[in-house]
Structure 1
Amino acid sequence: MEGLKSNPWASPPKPTDVRTLEFEDNLPSFRLGVPALGHALFQRLELRTILNNAFAGVDHKGLRIDLTEVMVLNRLDDPASKLALWREWYPHTALPHLLGLPALGWDEDSLYDTLDVVDERRDAIELQVYERVVRPLEGEAPKVLMKDLTSSYFEGSGVANPLSAKGYSRDRVRGSRQVNWSLLLTPTGYPVTLEVYPGNTKDETTVAGTVERVQRVFGLKEGIFVGDRGMLTKTNLEVLTAAKFRYAIAETLWNVKPVLAEAEKKKREPLGPLAASKKGRKKGAQAKLEVGLPAPPEEKVFEESWCEVVGEDGRRHICVWSEEKRRDELASLKERLEAGKELEKWARSGVQSGEWTEDNHHDLVKSLTKKLVEEDAEKLHDVVWDPQTIGTVFVKVNVERKAWEEAKAGWWILTTDTALAGPEVVRVYKSLAVVERAFRTLKGPLEVRPIRHWKAERIRAHLYVCVLAYLLERYVEQKVREGAEKPITVTGEVAWGLFKEVRWQQVGLKGTDVRRWTISNITGMQRVVLERLGVAEAQLRPSQTTL
């Protein structure tokens, strides 16, 4: 009836109980957390601008920039082969919507072609990353550059290439073909340059090339070069001096026995507390020279001390003695001597049973030597076959080597031409631990190995893509830690891992057309990380118009 109005005294409708609503199942859901955070940081650090500049004149430049970013973010989220990245990972992430790059229209070969471009333009990329990212983060041109070398093994049956060779494996994968590569880092752990070498390259042969590269590509004319003992040769010191670089490099104690003998006579000054070593250290391994590791409360903390000795050649040596290191090395020595005794018992048992005879004793000697190598005890023992003597086979202790290991226990020595005080030289050298940490990150969560590429240019590019992922990992770690009221010890790996379950999820009500996109699985800790990075949660959201 016209004119009737609703009853103003009628009860309002009851609100819908959300718990009674039924939501649609099997609606689209994409991996969002790591890809979206990585994309935001790619823009924050201007990495896309850097790639745009470096790829000038390249065909399909936009696609090459996108696919380079895709490969970098894959290392941070769920490292995969290029085929698996294309088929299985990318289509299930939010990257097609973040980049505006559909999963169709490119394939595995597009990724390989992009690797070729990355290798071709790597000098330009590294220079701009150094100028626009690393230097601003460091606050100035780094005065200390730290270098170390490692190796990664190949997997597959592809054709040989100039980088593939058998050599000393840092991965402890014996007999495999490998590639050697080195990183030059700042003390904060940011990468300056990657260098790639054939798998049989020795550390000592790489220094001159590094000096030439930092001068030619980056224009660096001075600084302190920090390296491990494998890089110390007279020629390398001359190269560094001629290039006006100072150095702080570890010595091989066997090569500086007179310096060690002189140090033993001198009065030492306290250097500071050394963190107690971790239990379960591998036999024969030297004490780790890690920085800032707190000692477990139940273990006693020993003190390091130092003195300075000038060698006969005029070189300055900082000699450091550690009770903790001495205790560990003597314990290791005892274990390796015991291993020799046990192997001798094993060999003699085989002789008594007739397994080993004069006819095959060469095989026994080889087997014993191999087992001694595995125990890191081959230099301490000599294997002797003597059928004219009771016992027939002997694993004899090398008395001279044993005495030497007892004498050097607890010592390590640096050589330097800097004017820095002894404790400062030690501090600078210990910062080399960040390179070891970078290698662990690259070989661990970023899965740089095994390498499945067989073209030299793609091997180099694959390694550099992993280095760019490490740059983002390190950046997140540093930003999360800095400026905190209380120390935050979260690693970059943990911080990135917090975002692996974050998804871009469509939700909807059954029986309706209501659909909404939402970010799921965001927690308080993830919001803390975003706040410290200066990334708003809204920056993780893809534009809905692309969905």
Structure 2
Amino acid sequence: MAFLYKKTIKGRTYWYVRETQRVGDKVKLKWQKYLGTADTILAKLDKAERSGQPLKMQTRSFGALFAAHVLEKELDTIGLVDRIVGKGKRETGPSVGEYFFYAWANRMIDPKSKHALEDWYKNAAVEHIRPVDVKQLTSARYWEKWDRVSEEHLEAIQDGFFRSLWEDRPVPPQTFLFDTTNYYTFMATKTASQLSRRGHSKDSKHHLRQVGLGLLVDRETSLPLYYASYPGNMHDSTLFNQVIEDMIPKMTGFAEPDKDVTVVFDKGMNAEDNLAVIDGCPGLHFITTYSPYFMETMAGVSLERFEVLDIPKNQRLKDKGLEADRLLAYRSGSELWGRVRTVVVTFNPVAYRKKIRDLERKLESIRAELLSWRRKFRDGERHWTSPQSITKRYKKLCASLHVSSTYYRLDFEKGKMGFRKDQGEIHQARKLMGKTIMVTDNHDWDTEEIVLAALDRYKVENQFRASKSSSHVRVNPIFHWTDSKIRCHLLTCLLALTGLRLLEIKVKGKYSGRVIMEEMQNLNCVITWAKGDKSPKVQIEDPNPIQAEVLKALGYAVKDGWVLQI
């Protein structure tokens, strides 16, 4: 920290600003700036006052936090949380709802740990947007407030938030997308937790404990309607079985009355019990994918029976002269899960060529290894004399490359090792490549409608990708050590994710949430202190075109250094 330093030379006093630092056991000068004598310092101040220059100036980040504040006025998460959780005995400082707001606003803008939140808000113009004593925004205060939030409270908050979000939407949802992901934690093995468990990590962090999240979004807007946290070792189909009955009232309740609705999900959720629940709900339909390996007859239908789909992507490929890359489809029916379903098989030529190249590369890699192993077997090298051991190594190699061990046949006749490709197995695998199977009970839908709805599942995947972004939301990694805090953390992240998506909708999809936040973070306010003023003067910088467009979408504009409602 800089400080004033006085020197007396030949009876005269001179003033400096200097900063020191400790190096080992000695204090050394870091830097020093000469100010002058007391008279010259006073003269400089007088000159500054006469010229109208301020005594002090500061800049603070304004735009992004202001956008979050405007969204909060629309969503009223503070009021919702406070109505459900209530006020604690002798509670002081910000309410529980305000703590949630300051958490999700930060997650939406520039995610920081609760420990770093206080310093982050000190550098934002929070006192000029939504005044708060930032000294209260400490990690200790967060844990104290969140200790009062139960799992039942969080379920009520979720229900109230999504109900409020969808009450005023101009177009009710009709098709829903559901998928799951997981987030890794650094929670120690011995720390008790029902949520944080070791399982298959979708971020390849298999050695760490995971927390799962299931998310239901509207197909048209990508806005969420429901989410559920679950143990990281739970299979997707088991989760779907547990939450489907909770999701049905959300889907039918938010949709237009007396209109059928459809939920789209991945093959990982397929199970007879899950489909039975959907079949038993009038007006609810589904679209799911199905593994070609479990429906080889239909997936192996000749491409001559496939037709070019009339979808925008194929039209764009045709315009570019890439007719050979267009998506093809074959439609039929089959009995699955106790009923006749409509089945659509699609063929993607681009994906087919990619998979063929990948398979050939892997087969060549396996062949090179087998040649090496055959030499070692022939020479009787140590650990390479047992056919059983070599066969076991071969299967392990195939598993690591994610290919079937049936593509090569090994034999050890007459004391010699041999191997050959099984062309029949490889040919059968080639027939399934580039194929995707979609199953639905929407028998009256066009083939194009079914395919487009199934392909739109990327929208919920994009939401997961946004939730794992290092720039915004950033659920990963979870630095919380109790299930109750993990659930509170997930709620704040979902609120932030919703806020970003609302901003994208308000600018009509012209900019991504990431671009909006990055631009708005660079919209600063200038705070000046002048002699005689009781309070500082605050002025907003002139916004650039993107910043002005975002402000306009929120209903505001900057005029003469002030943010005014349009």
CA contact (8 A) 2:104 2:496 kept: yes
Give me the whole-angstrom Cα distance separating, in 2, the residues matched to 1:339 and 1:436.
Answer: 32
Give me the whole-angstrom Cα distance separating, in 2, the residues matched to 1:355 and 1:473.
Answer: 62
Q: SS state of the match for residue 449, structure 1? A: coil
Give me the whole-angstrom Cα distance separating, in 2, the residues matched to 1:293 and 1:118.
Answer: 51
Sequence identity (%): 21
CA contact (8 A) 1:368 1:383 kept: no
Aligned match of 1:435 = 460
Give me the whole-angstrom Cα distance separating, in 2, the residues matched to 1:535 and 1:367.
Answer: 66
The residue type equivalent to 1:501 in the other structure is N
Aligned match of 2:44 = none
Aligned match of 1:357 = 383
Equivalent of 2:327 in 304, 309, 318: 304
Give me the whole-angstrom Cα distance separating, in 2, the residues matched to 1:96 and 1:354.
Answer: 78
Does residue 403 of the first structure (1) align with residue 427 of the second (2)? yes
Most deviating of 130-139 and 354-363: 354-363
Q: Larger Cα Rg: Structure 1 or Structure 2?
A: 2
Q: SS state of the match for residue 504, structure 1? A: strand
Give me the whole-angstrom Cα distance separating, in 2, the residues matched to 1:107 and 1:353.
Answer: 68
The residue type equivalent to 2:287 in the other structure is A
The 1:477/1:542 distance shift into structure 2, 3 A limit, reads closer
* C-alpha deviation, 1:113, in angstroms: 4.0
Aligned match of 2:126 = 95
* C-alpha deviation, 1:477, in angstroms: 0.9
* C-alpha deviation, 1:397, in angstroms: 5.2
Aligned match of 1:422 = 447
Q: C-alpha deviations, 1:369-395, integer Å up to 9, x for none?
A: 666445433556579696975569x7x
Q: SS state of the match for residue 467, structure 1? A: helix
CA contact (8 A) 2:376 2:384 kept: no
CA contact (8 A) 2:324 2:349 kept: no
Does residue 376 of the first structure (1) align with residue 385 of the second (2)? no
Aligned match of 2:112 = 80
CA contact (8 A) 1:273 1:301 kept: no
* C-alpha deviation, 1:527, in angstroms: 0.5
Q: C-alpha deviations, 1:132-186, integer Å up to 9, x for none?
A: 213433522x221211111111124371311122211111123221112110111
* C-alpha deviation, 1:214, in angstroms: 2.2
Aligned match of 2:362 = 336
CA contact (8 A) 2:309 2:448 kept: yes
The residue type equivalent to 2:218 in the other structure is T
In structure 1, runs of 5+ residues without a counterpart are 1-17, 277-291, 483-487
Give me the whole-angstrom Cα distance separating, in 2, the residues matched to 1:335 and 1:26.
Answer: 66
Give me the whole-angstrom Cα distance separating, in 2, the residues matched to 1:44 and 1:350.
Answer: 72
Equivalent of 1:50 in 76, 80, 101: 80
Equivalent of 1:259 in 267, 286, 298: 298
CA contact (8 A) 1:379 1:401 kept: no
Q: SS state of the match for residue 193, structure 2? A: coil
CA contact (8 A) 1:186 1:192 kept: yes
Most deviating of 334-343 and 187-196: 334-343
Query: How many residue pairs end up in the alignment?
Result: 500
1:206-217 aligned within 5 A: 206-215=239-248
* C-alpha deviation, 1:265, in angstroms: 7.5
* C-alpha deviation, 1:478, in angstroms: 1.5
The residue type equivalent to 1:335 in the other structure is R
Give me the whole-angstrom Cα distance separating, in 1, the residues matched to 2:52 and 2:320.
Answer: 54
Q: SS state of the match for residue 159, structure 1? A: coil
Aligned match of 2:344 = 318
1:132-171 aligned within 5 A: 132-137=164-169, 139-140=171-172, 142-157=173-188, 159-171=191-203
* C-alpha deviation, 1:224, in angstroms: 0.9
Equivalent of 2:60 in 22, 27, 30: 30
| CA RMSD between the two structures | 4.0
Equivalent of 2:210 in 169, 173, 178: 178
Most deviating of 47-56 and 451-460: 47-56
Q: C-alpha deviations, 1:174-217, integer Å up to 9, x for none?
A: 32211121101111200111111111111111222222212466
Q: SS state of the match for residue 306, structure 1? A: strand
Does residue 190 of the first structure (1) align with residue 217 of the second (2)? no
Give me the whole-angstrom Cα distance separating, in 1, the residues matched to 2:365 and 2:293.
Answer: 23
Give me the whole-angstrom Cα distance separating, in 1, the residues matched to 2:80 and 2:134.
Answer: 24
In structure 2, runs of 5+ residues without a counterpart are 1-47
The 1:100/1:270 distance shift into structure 2, 3 A limit, reads same
Equivalent of 2:475 in 440, 443, 448: 448
* C-alpha deviation, 1:415, in angstroms: 0.7
* C-alpha deviation, 1:52, in angstroms: 3.7
The 1:349/1:112 distance shift into structure 2, 3 A limit, reads farther
* C-alpha deviation, 1:540, in angstroms: 11
The residue type equivalent to 1:99 in the other structure is R
Give me the whole-angstrom Cα distance separating, in 1, the residues matched to 2:392 and 2:205.
Answer: 20
CA contact (8 A) 2:78 2:100 kept: no
The 1:540/1:118 distance shift into structure 2, 3 A limit, reads farther
Does residue 112 of the first structure (1) align with residue 150 of the second (2)? no
CA contact (8 A) 1:333 1:405 kept: no
Aligned match of 2:515 = 494
Aligned match of 1:280 = none
Give me the whole-angstrom Cα distance separating, in 1, the residues matched to 2:382 and 2:532.
Answer: 81
Q: SS state of the match for residue 215, structure 2? A: strand
Aligned match of 1:481 = 508
Give me the whole-angstrom Cα distance separating, in 2, the residues matched to 1:342 and 1:364.
Answer: 14
